[in-house]
Amino acid sequence: MKAAYPTTPDGRYFVVKGRLWRCTNPSLPAATKAVLVKELMQARRFKGEAMRKGDTAGRQQARQRVDLVKHQLGERGPVWWNDGAPDLNRHIVINTPYADWFIGLSA
């Protein structure tokens, strides 16, 4: 089965619309990851509900909750790898060392 979005060979990022997004820390135990993903989805639902209701305070609270969980998953904050490589999260892939790999995907 093909992944929904291509993942860099080192497993650090996936690519959406030409932009790198940091993957979840692969060293998280499966049970921990499952709990955090459930929490993330719930926080995103709360954010959507708050936006539909025009609840600015609720939206902000939900955004903070999303951010906290994304930090816990390793998708934001300090990088989860320790080889000194920079964090390229949200960079345009063709402007990074992954450019040749990405271009090669369409070949």
Cβ neighbors of 82 (< 8 A, separation 6 or more) are none
| Residue 103: strand, helix, or coil | helix
Domain segments of the chain as ranges: 1-26+86-107, 29-73
0.85 exceeded by the pTM?
Answer: yes
- CA angle centred on 17, ends 22 and 1, rounded to 5°: 75
7-53: pLDDT as tens digits? 999 999 999 999 999 999 999 999 999 999 999 999 999 999 999 99
